Amino acid sequence: MSTSITPDTQSLIQELMAAMQSGSLSSGTGSANGAGQSSGPQNTQEEAKLAEVFQELMVLLKQGNKEGSTSPGSDTPSPAISPAGAPSASAIPATGSTSPAAAAPASSDASSPAAATSGTSSVNAGDGPNTTTITNTSNHDEKIGQFLNGGSTTQPTAEIDLKPGQTGTLKYQNGQGGYDAEADSSGNFQSTASRLEFYADAKGVNNDDVSYIDGRNASIKVSDGNGKTAGDSKSIASDAPSNAVTKDAGGRATVTGWYDGSTQDMKDGGAYMESKLGTGNAYLHPDDDRNATSSNPMTMAQDASQHYTADFGDA
């Protein structure tokens, strides 16, 4: 039951009760303010009946205020009927309160892909015992995305936003593989980006490498902390052949990768990167892992480390 009573009505009921208790209310009509006095013999039986009715009314009103201080579909609290000096029941939050404080969801710091990609800057993303801690060594902001094998190549499963000099961490599970790449200046991930590739088997044994096969929009250098490294930290795009360099809307350069060597731009870009970087630290051609040990980019294969540090710098 839910009952709404105005303060004036509440006051009237209390004064009527006082009048009955003092004997000033007539059996016929009476005034709530005590102005109307009895004009004849009092009918005590009727007064007793009237008192009983008011007592029942008081019980119902109190019961209604205990069950809920608001009417269905209404945000207006019902004033409680309480003995003088007692705290009002309306001061106690009722179950199902519609106040802003009760309706507001609790804040959460839980990390998830959805949260990481909602527009809020984050420096830690992903989940799992394997970590790649990345430092932005370029002169511009970087958005680094993590892409898992078999998934989207444009929408990362996790991403971090790094200011120049800032460090963040991407995590992945045992049994997962994929790559980390930098977005262009518009925040879009292109297929021509540099890649930090990773794979962890069920026991956490990793295979990490750096690939510029598809293109080079960033220099990448990675270390396992135990003496193994891959990639480089050189900035070479400014001297690349003009036909082998493209720039995005923000002026950031990408050197064309060899890919399958089907165009002259690919051939020129691949040849230029090989002349500047050699062939032992990163993939420049799809079959580089067939090279002899000294020029094979798979120097970090079957690595027991699960924690890597990497630098993403200018191309």
Secondary structure element (H or E) that encloses residue 191, with its range:
none
- The whole-angstrom separation of Cα 241 and Cα 245 is 7
Residue reference for tokens 């963040």: 168
What's the CATH fold of domain 114-313? Thaumatin (2.60.110)
List CB contacts of 157: < 8 A, sequence separation 6 or more: 113, 126, 146, 147, 148, 151, 178
What is the pLDDT tens value at each position of the chain, 315 positions in all?
444 555 555 555 665 565 555 554 444 433 333 333 434 444 555 555 555 656 666 655 655 544 444 433 333 333 333 333 333 333 333 333 333 333 333 333 333 333 333 334 479 999 999 999 999 999 999 999 999 999 999 999 999 999 999 999 999 999 999 999 999 999 999 999 999 999 999 999 999 999 999 999 999 999 999 999 999 999 999 999 999 999 999 999 999 999 999 999 999 999 999 999 999 999 999 999 999 988 999 999 999 999 999 999 999
Burial of 45 from C-beta contacts in 10 A (0-12 / 13-18 / 19+): exposed
Q: Where are the domains of the chain?
A: 7-84, 114-313
Nearest residue to 246 (alpha-carbon basis) of 294, 288, 191, 206:
191
Residue reference for tokens 């690349």: 240
pTM: 0.63
